[in-house]
């Protein structure tokens, strides 16, 4: 590993592909390595590779050059400008494969515990409760903004192995203090992991705060076009990252080379897209805040948001996702979903077009009402993934649908 002392800019790193052996006539765009396996020039070379004495591609579940290009790129972006060794990155078939592989790589046993927040992406909560919980691992849900209580728990509960953070969180947009949580974890010898999906490395770099693992659903902003599912884990500890890679090899949660190619294409325009997502989201949030049908807008870019200062401290800008509460509850949410003509009614986020969803009638319809209310997912809460269209078209659509 070497330090990421690249003198190139962040945008240049997004765009540049490190193609090994680029010679005359070589493909300008990285080719899609649509192959399951790789060949050797001799039996001796093959033997060395299998014995781990030489590095070479072996099999698509292990590695593939189409993954390597993206892995190296995201590793450089997550460590851009930081005085740390360039981390490693491992690409997965989905965000959930990336997140679950980190937990599985830790070989948590009965009686071990994970400390996390209640307002996580729903499938992450389900994965923790079932895959880990059913095997006797305690999942401790705690308000991670209450740093005093976090320290009390870390001090008294030796079985906590890792703190898992999602910031900004889905769908309430709460922010958690990465520096403070990482410092507490280090003080008590615990690991930390952050889901950086909403922010991307352009807006937030958890490694700068001493976080051990950074995960993404690359399905969202990193791909940016909604045409492939994917995930990635980034981390600086070679030993821990080798265990994460082993999960991909053993569980077969590698992506397809085509999806890796699409992801690499998407990352090339990450900065342009994120700047426009942020510009548009700021305008839409301001507009929603003054709409009579809207009770509350969750967007850290608004100066009255409780996490505004924290977001300024740890993020470059405030991101492209916001949520808002309709005064009319579930019925108003359903009416809005049926009323929009431009915004797309769908559960994902981070694409070029604006996506809208109503958790109480969609993603959280199976969740007990009391439970979702506890985590701020109210009856009238609507999540908007603000796209990069002309912002007036987004606002006009919401205006006609809310009328």
The span from the CA of 176 to the CA of 180, in Å, is 9
- The residue range among 21-29, 50-58, 89-97, 260-268 that interacts with ligand PLP, by the rule CB under 6 A, is 89-97
CA–centroid distance for 114 within its chain: 19
182, 210 in Cβ contact below 8 A? yes
Residue 385 binds ligand PLP, judged by CB under 6 A: no
Q: What is the SS3 assignment for 201-245?
A: HHHCCHHHHCCCEEEEECCCCCCCCCCCCCEEEEECCHHHHHHHH
Q: Which residues on neighbouring strands pair with residue 216, listed in sequence order?
A: 232
Q: Which of residues 101, 219, 354, 385 is near ligand PLP by CB under 6 A?
A: 219
Site track 37-76 with ligand PLP (rule: CB under 6 A), x = hit:
----------------------------------------
Please name the residue ranges forming H helices in 132-222: 147-156, 178-187, 200-203
CA atoms within 13 A on the CB side of 305: 27
Q: Does 170 bind ligand PLP (CB under 6 A)?
A: yes
Nearer to ligand PLP (CB atom), residue 174 or residue 402: 174
Restricting to residues 104-133, which ones interact with ligand PLP according to CB under 6 A?
Answer: 121, 123
Query: Does 217 sit near ligand PLP (CB under 6 A)?
Result: yes
Should residue 231 be labelled a site residue for ligand PLP when binding is judged by CB under 6 A? yes
Span of 90-98, 315-323, 332-340, 382-390 interacting with ligand PLP by CB under 6 A:
90-98
Cβ distance to ligand PLP smaller for residue 4 or 170: 170
For residue 24, how many other CB atoms are within 10 A of its CB? 4
Which of 174, 195, 282, 325: binder of ligand PLP (CB under 6 A)? 195
Gap between the Cα atoms of 15 and 265, Å rounded: 8
Closest approach, Cβ 95 to ligand PLP, in A, equals 2
Nearest distance in Å: CB 78, ligand PLP: 16
Residue 174 lies near ligand PLP (rule: CB under 6 A): no
Q: Would you call the peptide bond into 171 cis, given omega within 30 degrees of 0 as the criterion?
A: yes
- Span between the terminal Cα atoms of the chain, in Å: 57
Residues β-bridged to residue 384:
322, 356
Q: Which is nearer to ligand PLP, 102 or 293 (CB)?
A: 102
Applying CB under 6 A, does 204 fall inside the site for ligand PLP? no
Instruction: Name the residues that contact ligand PLP, by CB under 6 A.
Output: 94-96, 121, 123, 166, 170, 195, 197, 217, 219, 229, 231
């Amino acid at each position: 590993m070497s330090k990421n002392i690249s003198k190139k800019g962040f945008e240049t790193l997004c765009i540049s592909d490190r193609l090994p052996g680029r010679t005359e006539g070589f493909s300008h765009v990285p080719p899609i390595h649509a192959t399951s396996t790789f060949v050797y020039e001799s039996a001796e070379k093959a033997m060395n590779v299998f014995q781990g004495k030489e590095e070479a591609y072996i099999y698509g579940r292990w590695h593939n050059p189409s993954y390597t290009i993206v892995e190296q790129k995201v590793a450089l972006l997550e460590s851009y400008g930081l005085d740390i060794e360039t981390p490693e990155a491992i690409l997965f078939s989905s965000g959930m494969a990336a997140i679950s592989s980190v937990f599985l790589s830790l070989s948590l046993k009965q009686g071990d515990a994970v400390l996390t927040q209640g307002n996580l992406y729903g499938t992450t909560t389900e994965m923790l409760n079932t895959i880990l919980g059913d095997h006797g691992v305690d999942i401790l849900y705690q308000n991670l903004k209450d740093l005093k209580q976090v320290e009390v728990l870390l001090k008294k509960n030796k079985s906590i192995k890792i703190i898992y953070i999602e910031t900004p969180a889905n769908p309430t947009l709460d922010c958690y203090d990465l520096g403070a949580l990482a410092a507490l974890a280090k003080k008590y010898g615990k690991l930390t992991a952050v889901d950086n999906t909403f922010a991307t490395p352009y807006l937030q770099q958890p490694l700068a705060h001493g976080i051990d693992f950074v995960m993404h659903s690359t399905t969202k902003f990193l791909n940016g076009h909604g045409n492939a599912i994917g995930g990635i884990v980034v981390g600086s500890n070679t030993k821990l990252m080798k265990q994460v890679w082993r999960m991909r090899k053993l569980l077969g949660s590698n992506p397809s080379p085509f999806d890796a190619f699409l992801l690499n294409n998407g990352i090339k325009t990450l900065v342009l897209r994120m700047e426009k997502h942020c510009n548009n989201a700021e305008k839409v949030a301001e507009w929603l805040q003054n709409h009579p049908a809207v009770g509350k807008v969750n967007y850290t870019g608004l100066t009255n948001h409780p996490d505004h200062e924290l977001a300024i401290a740890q993020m470059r800008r405030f991101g492209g996702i916001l949520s808002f509460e309709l005064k009319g509850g579930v019925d108003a949410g359903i009416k809005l979903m049926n009323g929009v003509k431009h915004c797309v009614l769908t559960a994902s986020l981070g694409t070029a077009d604006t996506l809208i969803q109503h958790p109480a009638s969609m993603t959280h319809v199976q969740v007990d009402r009391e439970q979702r209310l506890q985590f701020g997912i109210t009856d009238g809460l609507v999540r908007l993934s603000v796209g990069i269209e002309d912002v007036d078209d987004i606002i006009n659509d919401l205006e006609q649908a809310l009328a």
